[in-house]
């Protein structure tokens, strides 16, 4: 995993000397692997940077904030927890149609607010190669546009840059990495977990990958080789 992780950092020039980087953590495997990798690299990199892990608690019962805080402490970092009711708002009777979209938008907004408070110009998120492919298909199927997440993306006229150092790392590799490092992954208490449009796309793609192991790589490369002359 280290090779793909380092390649994304270098290719997209994700970090500069003196960076203060907010790391969004969720308790899942991706953000856990991201935080561990950034902390490990910090100890040997000539580029000096500071890390500020932040967890936005959506407010469901069965939360794990304190256990996550303890794991971050083991990594050598202090976790900031923002307690909210975003998950409850998103799943209220007034918002039955798309709770995941609203919850994600509210949590992202809070991360940006905290980044401003901490004077962090970079926000690191744990989206991986599979996430980028799935977003590509989700936007085609449900938004009617050809787009996806990109490894480094600026917001607010360049005031904040979102970086995704795991952009070249496949989900299965991250899963093995977290297991090998003995890191804990926490259960998502959200009632919509595993019942989302993303999960539907993930299952569809799994079928394609099983039929031809080259499909994933071809789809990922296709997002770099767009032939505009052959689009409407």
DSSP 82: E
Task: List, for residues 148-174, the tens digit of each pLDDT value.
Answer: 999 999 999 999 999 999 999 999 999
Mean pLDDT value of segment 9-25: 97
How many Å separate Cα 224 from the centre of its chain? 20
**Res 97 pLDDT > 70:** no
pLDDT band at 96 (very low <50, low <70, confident <90, very high): low
Mean pLDDT value of segment 220-230: 95
Mean pLDDT value of segment 32-51: 96
**Res 193 pLDDT > 80:** no
What are the Cα distances from residue 147, in Å, to 140, 219, 224, 226? Answer: 8, 13, 11, 11
More confident residue, 136 or 191: 136
Mean pLDDT value of segment 3-17: 96
Percent of the chain with pLDDT over 90: 84
* pTM of the shown model: 0.94
Q: What is the CATH number of the domain that holds 101?
A: 3.40.50.620
pLDDT band at 231 (very low <50, low <70, confident <90, very high): very high
Number of independent structural domains in the chain: 1
Q: What is the rounded average pLDDT for all residues in the chain?
A: 94
Q: What's the sign of the alpha-carbon dihedral 38, 40, 45, 50?
A: positive
Structural domain span for residue 85: 2-230
- Res 190: pLDDT: 84
pLDDT band at 62 (very low <50, low <70, confident <90, very high): confident
**Res 39 pLDDT > 90:** yes
> Which residues, in sequence order, are bridge partners of residue 21?
51, 122
- Res 188: pLDDT: 84
């Amino acid at each position: 995993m280290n090779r793909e992780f380092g390649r994304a950092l270098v290719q997209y020039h994700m970090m500069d000397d003196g960076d203060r980087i907010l790391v969004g953590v969720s308790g899942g495997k991706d953000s856990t692997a991201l935080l561990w990798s950034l902390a490990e690299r910090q100890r040997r990199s000539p580029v000096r940077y500071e890390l500020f892990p932040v967890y936005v608690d959506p407010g469901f019962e069965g939360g794990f904030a304190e256990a996550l805080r303890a794991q971050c402490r083991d990594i050598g970092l202090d976790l900031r927890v923002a307690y909210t009711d975003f998950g409850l708002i998103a799943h209220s009777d007034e918002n039955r149609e798309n709770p995941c979209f609203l919850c994600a938008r509210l949590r992202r907004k809070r991360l940006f607010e905290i980044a401003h408070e901490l004077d962090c110009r970079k926000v690191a998120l744990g989206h991986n190669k599979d996430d980028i492919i799935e977003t590509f298909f989700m936007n085609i199927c449900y938004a009617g546009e050809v787009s996806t997440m990109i490894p480094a993306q600026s917001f607010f006229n360049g005031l904040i840059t979102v970086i995704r150092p795991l952009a070249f790392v496949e989900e299965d590799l991250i899963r093995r990495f977290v297991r090998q490092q003995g890191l804990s992954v926490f259960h998502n208490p959200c009632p919509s977990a595993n019942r989302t449009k993303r999960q539907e796309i993930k299952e569809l793609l799994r079928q394609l990958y099983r039929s031809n192991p080259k499909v994933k790589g071809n789809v990922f490369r296709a997002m770099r080789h767009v032939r505009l002359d052959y689009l409407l």
